[in-house]
């Protein structure tokens, strides 16, 4: 399921329209029997109840929030950053020392070297560690970089929440 959280009105002066009315929370309400029963008999649903259910469903990957905006015009960016930092997966939620990350981009440098972009979710990755990238393939980390103020800096270790190359 998806829930539209905001849209952008593109009149002469664009602005964000946030959805906060209970009627606009239909996707959240129908996913919870208690909230649905309460809503159908006319009881008032408070925002705290709806947000709690929304957060639980987002964390369980059964609900995906949709935010509209424009980075160019700085419209809706504040709301997007708030949802990323408060509702979406946080690396602190994993209580594991086991290495876990997501490769989200692979490219090749001019000299043919493979560059792999990884978001680390748990565990710590050290330079020269051997990493299983599939059941059949294991690689050794020979270089690691992170972007600091738009510049690539070489690092010796990476921790949960970091994006590394």
Q: What is the pLDDT of residue 34?
A: 92
Kindly list the structural domains of the chain, giving each domain's residue range(s) and its CATH number in brackets, ordered by start. 2-88 (no CATH), 92-164 (2.40.30.10)
DSSP string, the chain: -EEE-EEEE-SSS-EEEE--SGGGGHHHHHT-HHHHHHHHTTPPPPHHHHHHHHHHHHHTTS-EEE---BTTTTBSHHHHHHHHHHTS--GGG----S-EEEEEEEEE-TTS-EEEEEEEEES-EETT-EEESSSS-EEE----EEEETTEEEE-SEE-TT-EE-
Report whether pLDDT(10) > 70: no
pLDDT digits (tens, 9 = 90+) for 19-67: 666 667 888 888 889 999 998 998 988 888 888 888 888 877 788 888 7
Model pLDDT for residues 77-105, shown as the tens digit of each residue:
787 777 776 777 555 555 567 888 888 88
Mean pLDDT of the chain: 81
Whether this prediction's pTM lies above 0.85 is answered by no
């Amino acid at each position: 399921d998806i829930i539209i959280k905001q849209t952008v009105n593109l009149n002469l002066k664009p602005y964000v329209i946030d959805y906060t009315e209970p009627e606009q929370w239909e996707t959240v309400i129908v996913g919870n029997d208690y909230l649905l029963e309460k809503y159908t008999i006319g009881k008032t649903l408070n925002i705290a109840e709806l947000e709690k259910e929304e957060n639980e469903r987002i964390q369980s990957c059964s609900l995906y929030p949709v935010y509209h905006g424009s980075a160019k015009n700085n419209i809706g960016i504040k709301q997007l950053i708030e949802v990323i930092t408060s509702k979406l997966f946080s690396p602190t939620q994993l209580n594991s020392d086991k290495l876990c990350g997501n490769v989200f981009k692979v490219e090749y440098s001019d000299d043919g070297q493979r560059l792999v972009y990884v978001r680390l979710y748990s565990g710590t990755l050290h330079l020269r560690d051997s990493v299983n990238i599939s059941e059949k393939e294991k690689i050794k980390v020979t270089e690691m970089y992170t972007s600091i103020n738009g510049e690539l800096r070489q690092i010796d270790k990476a921790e949960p929440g970091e994006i590394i190359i």
